[in-house]
Amino acid sequence: MWLQPDEILLKNAFKLWVTEEDNEYFVLQRRRGYGEGGGGLTGLLVGTLDTVLDSTSKVAPYRILHHTPDSQVYWTIACGVTKEEIVQHWDWLQQNIMRTLSVFDSSEDITSFVQGKIRGLIAEEGKSSLVLEEDPEKFREALLRFEKWFELPPKEKLVTYYSCSYWRGKVPCQGWLYLSTNFLCFYSYLLGAEVKLIISWDEIWRLEKTSNVILTESIHVLAHGEDHYFSMLMHLNETFVIMEQLADYSIKRLFDKEAFQREPALSDPMQITKRGLEAHAKSEQFRTFFRLPKEENLLEVHESFLWVPFSHFNTLGKICLSENYLCFASQDGSQCHVIIPMREVINVEKSDSSSRALTVCVRGKKALRFAEVRDYQRLANTIRSKCGISASPQHSASSEAIRGTCQSLINHFEDNPEDVTLMVGQKDSSKAVSTEALMTVFHPQDVENLDPKMLKEKMKEQSWNIHFSEYGRGTSMFFTRKTRDLIVRGVPEALRGELWMLFSGAVNDMATHPGYYTDLVEQSLGTSTLATDEIERDLHRSLPEHPAFQSDTGISALRRVLTAYAYRNPKIGYCQAMNILTSVLLLYAKEEEAFWLLVAVCERMLPDYFNRRIIGALVDQAVFEDLIRENLPQLVEHMTDLSFFSSVSLSWFLTLFISVLPIESAVNVVDCFFYDGIKAILQLGLAVLDYNMEALISCHDDAEAVTILNKFFDSVTNKDSPLPPTVQQASVSNNDKASHFNVDISELIKEAYEKYGNIRSEEVESSRKRNKLHVIQTLEDTTKQNVIRVVTQEVRFSASHLDRLYNLFKRQHFLCCYWTMKSPALLHHDPSLAYLEQYQLGFQQFSMLFSLLEPWAFCNPKSTLSLWIFRLIDENQDGLVNFKEFCCALDTLYSGSFTNKLKFLFKLHLPPAFDLPEDGVIRKSPERGRGKVDLQAYLKQWQNEILKKEETIKDLPRINQTQFIQFSKTLYNIFHGDPEEESLYQAVAHVTSLLLRMEEVGRRLHESSSPPESTKPANTAAAGSSTQEASTTPENSDTSSSCNSQDAGPDLTELDWSFSFEQVLASLLNEPTIVRFFERPVDIQTKLGQARVAQLKLKANK
């Protein structure tokens, strides 16, 4: 590898380097302790230095120096891991540089020329390199060490590296931590003691920052049941964040693929860099905070002051710019932020340069003034270009015209609010789509009704109108602490739909996708899938006591929204609890708005909640448990097992308390959720447990605790709800039973914010990432235990051996996913399928793993025999082998009787294994995914497996001439390399000759018993050649010639000879050498250990 020329003094390096070759201008040196004579104390000391220190001169064991005869200064210009690599560089210098140097007169010119040439070579290499780091030189050195020490496949992408200590017990090992796309690696070499660690990200259960008496602060990694601690990191927080991102990326890519959209920025594992991960993390945080669509990426961040008109002062914060949004968030604790869609911007004006300010004018007679922006001119031009606004002076007149037109439009919309949809370019809604919220239709507000509850409702509306007049209304409204206070007090019924749309960000989704929902409804109309069947089943279970869902109007709207979403997002389709949530959305929002609210909840606010494994809900339950330990220590002391709260709270998270609270109270919770996200649900859950603390501590079992919580939820009321009794869920009888105490939902929410409002959203997101690893791995472990439970009934492997086999099988599945964007194995993996079918291997993956585990070393990954074995054990012939099929084959070869092993080899040479075309795949695997599974086919397959009788040796067909020849060759391959190879070859030749003689005798008997006119001339040539091929081996030419002389008789018929399995078995049983070979025990433990070590290397050498 060429290096940037670096000046060194050679006299300081005499003890560490040995000169191999030199000439007038260059020196090739070898590091002491490497190559010839590399042992001893020198090698130990130099190896230790190379590991602990990080210097250009201590990177690789070989280097090339440049010097001039009249100078004591040397320059490093190349290094190499192997001698072959450095010799290539040396030869290039001899052929291309040496002749040119003779034309220069001065040493300075020679050195300048060499340095320029080397830098040019590095620049050429850099053009094709994907590495974009702050210090490319150091990174290339680290990459060399990474490749040399860990021997991973060349495609493995190193992301970054850090110097740190790894703790083995109580002893720290100083070395280097390497973080790559798929692996966490550590290497240390201290005085002859080498420590090498390779952990794949998909094997990690826990990843967290910890501290104790010995380690002030360290990173804890739990994998394979072992704890690993890394400390003494210069940038511990940065290291942890990168590790967290890589682990999360691996989990998303390999396990959790039911999310609607994959991360486009991280879709290619070969393109991941540290800088890319950091940018992705910032964009994700940006989208989460401002509730923006997933397509938005953070492009620029500018520190500035924003003039806040309602407070009459400038607040310090940051401007965050994406493709379609300009956002601002304060940093002074005022909790003020604002979101400005670019589509709403009508002009950008720059003030005088002294204040470095710019003013952004938006629709609705509103302007935002940003001051003290360092690069305000470039920011203004960027915003203009994204909005399509001209910045030229000559267009000032047209700008005024545009401003005037916009103002007239605003006035028109204020006078004609029904035309406001034109502002976002929405198409006319289809007549089939409801344009009113169901609450408006089934419970219109009576303006003349002035009872206390309605008066209070009007007062709430007035408070919000005052808020709108001060802070703005619509997409460009200021969000402040006062906004949250109004939310906690409760949102008026008339404003609920509008505010839900605004707080969730769904208003932006709907504005940028005009007519999308109507088109989806038309396209999904009449479709019949598994999702639509489930939707129809649950329609009448959605708030059945509410009048809106006792009529066709509400049921039809609910059907359209759920069916349209299932059509839009088939990965999720439909999941239980979506009907309950959607029915509440339809009460307060128009049908199209309810659809976009559902999109915001399922795809942004509650990721991975609504799928077959409800991973998101399980993760948030784990976060909830952590918060209980942190905030409710008394409860933890009494109930050490907090899994009870996980099972009880599942419905709280999945339905946002809608399923446990009366509807009039639950909507207040939904208000808080749309403003604060999952943080609001966590806070309320803690408040519920805190409220019932004494009762829960005194209960004796889980059933009693459940009863206490159910009674509490029945007692929750909303004293301010203007809804009539026919709509409210809390019945009079329930209130009578719980008349001794009632809890107002507003008071409960207020208490939750007062006690637990200090929980930060950033901490929740970090806890989500940390717990997601454990949740996913727990689900994967459950899958493994279920698979092993099924397979253990079919094989003789112990549970521990099956556990290790499963890990190897699963790892082989992932090895073909690590370095490709669209691996077939990734497409085949579907967590919604049966346990056995979640991980399956295609032919290429199977052949590599089988070659590591089969007992006789007769089957290499590229052999035809591998293909025959694959076809034989692929029982349903779908081109994939599951774990049960794989284990049954290995069990036969490891622990089967002599008869069963021979039967397995015999069947390899019969259809379907032997006769199919050798294309590597039998046929395309069946379509996978929800809604595409052929249930009838699965039921039929299940029935056949139940009714299937055990195969006997008499059921096997006879083996013909071609198949028997290949069978004999297979036996020779199996015996090759065995200590008794000669005896085994002779035994096979003897058996072959014996079988052919038996067949000849049978044929002559058949000929003598048949009529004379049926005989035909013999075809001696064909019979003789086939006999010779079957019995000839390199060591047994005498046997083959004797067979030829006996078989080449004049009375053979044209009929092909064949053998039954009983004949072959009986003949081989007469050979003790062969019987001993097949009954020889196999050390399974050693075989599994060797396969584990060799699995990665086999992939690397492929």
Picking from 971, 951, 974, 976, the residue whose alpha carbon sits closest to that of residue 1067 is: 971
The beta strand positions in 739-835, using DSSP E, are 743-744
CB 320 within 8 A of CB 286: yes
Q: Using one digit for the tens of pLDDT, what is the confidence trace for 153-174?
A: 888 889 999 988 898 777 788 8
C-alpha pair distances (Å), 354 with each of 350, 363, 580: 11, 28, 57
Task: Extract the tokens encoding 426.
Answer: 């929405």
pLDDT for residue 399 is more than 50: no
What is the tally of helices (H) and strands (E) in the chain?
Answer: 44, 24
pLDDT for residue 509 is more than 80: yes
Give me the DSSP letters along 365-431. TEEEEEES-TTHHHHHHHHHHHHT----GGGHHHHHHHHHHHHHHHHHHHH-GGGGGGGGTPPPPPT
Q: What is the DSSP letter of 202?
A: G
pLDDT of residue 52: 54
pLDDT band at 937 (very low <50, low <70, confident <90, very high): low
pLDDT of residue 719: 87
Q: Using one digit for the tens of pLDDT, what is the confidence trace for 779-816?
A: 999 999 999 999 999 999 999 999 999 999 998 888 87
For the chain, percent of residues with pLDDT exceeding 90: 32
Picking from 594, 597, 599, 591, the residue whose alpha carbon sits closest to that of residue 553 is: 591
Task: Extract the tokens encoding 273.
Answer: 């860099």
pLDDT band at 926 (very low <50, low <70, confident <90, very high): very low
Specify the residue for token string 């408070």.
463
pLDDT of residue 123: 67
More confidently predicted of 408 and 565: 565
pLDDT of residue 456: 86
How much is the mean pLDDT over the chain?
80
pLDDT for residue 831 is more than 80: no
Q: Identify residue 371 by its one-letter amino acid code.
A: A
Burial, 130: exposed, middle or buried (Cβ in 10 Å; 0-12, 13-18, 19+)?
A: exposed
Q: Say if pTM beats, i.e. exceeds, 0.85.
A: no
Question: What 3-state DSSP class applies to 340?
Answer: strand
Beta carbons within 8 Å of 798's beta carbon, 6+ residues apart: none
pLDDT band at 647 (very low <50, low <70, confident <90, very high): confident
- How far apart are alpha carbons 291 and 533 in whole angstroms? 32
pLDDT of residue 565: 94
The beta strand positions in 1038-1097, using DSSP E, are none
pLDDT for residue 1013 is more than 80: no
More confidently predicted of 137 and 63: 63
pLDDT band at 286 (very low <50, low <70, confident <90, very high): very high
- How far apart are alpha carbons 722 and 449 in whole angstroms? 10
Q: Do strands 300-308 and 366-371 pair parallel, antiparallel, or not at all (unpaired)? A: antiparallel
pLDDT for residue 1018 is more than 50: no
Q: Do strands 743-744 and 716-717 pair parallel, antiparallel, or not at all (unpaired)? A: parallel
Kindly report the three-state secondary structure assignment for every residue of 822-864: CCHHHHHCCCCCCHHHHCEECHHHHHHHHHHHCCCCCCCCCCH
Element (H, E) at 306: strand 300-308
